[in-house]
Structure 1
C-alpha cells in the first residue's frame, strides 16, 4: 500500500482553507508566466537554438558556440546590449561583485540607494579583504529607505556628487525587513538618478526577481543587472553559475574581473552543462510562478497560525521570497525542520544553526535540494537574531511546496501543544 506524508487532519484542513482563499490570485500569475514564456521562446527562435549547442567544451573553451549563443539569448530576454552567462560564477555574490567592479576604479564612489547591501556583498564593498573595493580605494555611501520606500529626494542629492560612478539598487529584501522593489519603483529611482548624474552606471542586484514581472530593470533605465543561475533563471536545472546583462562595455569589463584582463568572456569551458542552462532558462518562467504560488500559500497558512508575514498572500509579488516573523527561536527552528522534512533530498536531516561564511550571525538553513543551496528549490533560512524572521523561497512545483509548508505548520503546532 502506498504511503503518504503524515500531517495532522487539522493542518490539512487549514491548508485547504488557505488554498481556497488564494486561488483567485493565481490567474494574474499565470498571465505573467505566459508573457515571460513567450519572451523566452522568441529569444530561442531568434537565435536558432538546436541540440548542437548543448555539447559544451573543455580546456580553454574557445569558440564555445553554445555558451556564446546563450549570452545573446539572455541579452534578448533582458533587453540589453550584451550578457555574460557562465558556470564560472560560483554564486550570485560573485556575479554581483564582478558587475560592480565593471564601473568603478580607485577614487570613485559607489552609492547604494536601498540601504546596506546584502550581507555577503558587503564584504566586496567595505570588507577588510584583499581585493575588496575598500582595498582598492573605492569609496562607499548609502541612502537608506524612508519608511520602507526609496527616498527619491535623498537619492538625487547623493547621486549629484560627481565622484559617484556606480549607483547600486538591491531589488529584493535580502536579510532585511523591508519590501521588495517593483520594476516600476526601480524605474523611478533610475529616472531620479539621471536627472542629476548622467555618467554613473546604475546597477541592480536582480537576485530572486527574474520573471516575477513582465519586464526587467534593464528595461526601465538600469545599465547592468546580475544574478544567480541557481535562483530563478536557472529553472531548477542549472547546476551552478550566474549571469550579468547590460551595456556592452560594462559586461565586457565585468568579464575581465571574472577571468583576466584581455581574456574576459573568450575563455571559459562549459564541460557539457549547456543543455541544463538552456533547459533551465526555458523552464524558468514556469518554475518561478510555482515558487510564487508556494510563497502565497505559505503566507496565508502562517498568517492563519498567527504570525506576521510579508508580503501578505494577496499582495503583488516582485520576488520569490516570503518572510515570516516568529519573534522567538523555537518556532523558527520548527519551521525550518518542517521545510527540510518536506524536501526530496535529505528529508531526514535536522537543520541546525551554524557559522555560515560571509554572515555575522549564525544561520539556520533548510535546503534539501537537488542542487546544493539552490533557492529556486524550496528552502528556508534565517539569521539567528531578533526578531527571528525566516526567509522562505522556492518550490519547483506548487504541489510539493504546499506539502513542505504544511509539514512546517504541523511541526510548529505540535511543539506548541507539548
Structure 2
C-alpha cells in the first residue's frame, strides 16, 4: 500500500487554490515586501495602544463579577460604571460614558450637540461639510424635522483649503459671540480629501481657544480611535464621540457608542441621551458588559490589523492602476482607504468583490439603496458578523462623483488581502481594471 504524501500548502498555493491567478498572487506578495517597514511601525503603535487600554482596565479593577447582567432601569450596574471610568482613562478625560443604547456614531454626536446647544446658540464646523448623516441633525438638508436648525440653533461652516487642510487663518472669521460649539470631523467621510491628524486638530483647537474661549470643541472621532498614539482629547478637545461597531468595539461589541471629555459636557450629552434628571444613572447592560470590555481590550490589535491591511491595499490597488487616497506610504489618522473607481459600475464591481470575501452573506450582491440619513444611494459591502460593522472588512460609498469606494476594517490582514484581490477580480471581469492580470 502506497501512502500519499500531502503537500503542505504555502501562502501562494493557498491563494491559488482560491482561484487567484498567479500574477495577482505575485503582486500581493510584492505588496507585503514593499510595505513591511510601514506595517512594522503600525504593529508597534498597536502594542503601545494595547498597553494603554490594558493599563486602564487594570486600573479600574475589572473583575469577572462586573460582567453580571442588569435589566430594567439598570440601577447599580457596577460593570457599566467601571467601563465608563475605563473609557475616561483611555482617552485621558475627566469623564467617559460607554452605552449599548447609543445606536450609532451619529447618535452619540447628536447627543453631544443637543446636550450643549440651546436656541440662539451657534454651531461652527471647521472641517467643511460634515458626514452625510449629520446634515439632517444640523438641519442643512430639507425635511430635517427636530434638527438643531428647527430649534433655533445657527450654523456656520468653514470650507477646507484646496489641499484638504483646515484653514487655520480663516477660523477667526467664522467665530462669533454666539459660537457655543465648534465641530471638527477627524475622518474624511465620503469625501475625496485627507483625514485630519490629531496634530492638525490640535492646531485648530488652539486657534479657537484664542478667539472663542467660550466654545466647547467637539471632535467626531469615528474611524480614528487607536490609530495614532494620542487622541483629540489630549490636544484640547472638550468632547469626542464614536461608535462601538467601529474601532472601539474591537469587532466584538454588538452595538453601542461612547462619549468622553469634560465632565459637564459629557453629563449634558447623557441627559439628552436619556432624560434630564436621569443622565448616566440608567441604562441596563443586559449581560453585555463582557463583550464591551473585551471589545475595548481588542480594539488596538484589531485597528492595527485593519491599518496594516489598508497600507498593503493602497500599494496593491495603485499598482493595479487605481487612484487611492491616502497613498500607501502616507501618514494615517484613520482606518479608511479611499479608492477612486470613476463610475457606478466600478463601485459596484469593487463592492461585489469585497462582499465575496465575507464570512457572512458572501453570496449576496450589494445594490445601491438610499439609507436613513443619506441623500444619495449608498453601496455597502460587508459580510460582517455585526450588522453595519466597519471595523470588520467592509467597503461602501455613495453613487456620486468621484465614484469612490471607501475600504475599511478587517480583523486580520489576511482577510483584507482576500477582499482586495476579489475586488480586483470583479473589476477585471467587467473591463474596469486599468492594469489587468
Q: TM exceeds 0.5?
A: yes
TM range (shorter): over 0.9
SS of structure 2 residue aligned to 1:323: strand
Q: 2:275 aligns with which of 243, 257, 260?
A: 260
Q: 1:249 aligns with which of 264, 270, 281?
A: 264
Gaps of 5+ in 1: none
Structure 1 residue 134 corresponds to structure 2 residue 149: yes
Whose radius of gyration is greater, 1 or 2?
2
* Cα offset, 1:156, TM superposition: 2.1
* Cα offset, 1:56, TM superposition: 2.2
Structure 1 residue 357 corresponds to structure 2 residue 358: no
Is contact 2:343–2:403 with CA below 8 Å preserved after alignment?
yes
Structure 1: 4+ residue segments shifted above 6 A: none
SS of structure 2 residue aligned to 1:271: coil
CA distance in 1, matches of 2:268, 2:313: 41
Partner of 1:122: 135
Partner of 1:155: 171
1:206-247: CA deviation from partner (whole Å, max 9, x where unpaired): 000000000100000100000000000000000000000000
User: Structure 2-normalised TM-score?
Assistant: 0.93
Is contact 1:37–1:285 with CA below 8 Å preserved after alignment?
yes
CA distance in 2, matches of 1:348, 1:102: 43
CA distance in 1, matches of 2:133, 2:144: 12
CA distance in 1, matches of 2:313, 2:347: 14
* Cα offset, 1:414, TM superposition: 2.8
Q: 2:306 aligns with which of 260, 279, 291?
A: 291
Partner of 1:222: 237
CA distance in 1, matches of 2:184, 2:111: 15
What is the total number of aligned residue pairs between the two structures? 417
**Alignment RMSD, CA only?**
1.4
SS of structure 2 residue aligned to 1:399: helix
Q: 2:62 aligns with which of 20, 38, 49?
A: 49
1:114-168: CA deviation from partner (whole Å, max 9, x where unpaired): 0011000111001543321011100000101012110011112222x11000000
Is contact 2:168–2:207 with CA below 8 Å preserved after alignment?
yes
Alignment of 1:296-311 (within 5 A): 296-311=311-326
Higher mean C-alpha deviation, range 405-414 or range 211-220: 405-414
Partner of 2:398: 383
Q: 2:94 aligns with which of 77, 81, 103?
A: 81
* Cα offset, 1:55, TM superposition: 1.3
1:333-369: CA deviation from partner (whole Å, max 9, x where unpaired): 1111110000111101111111222111111110110
CA distance in 1, matches of 2:137, 2:429: 43
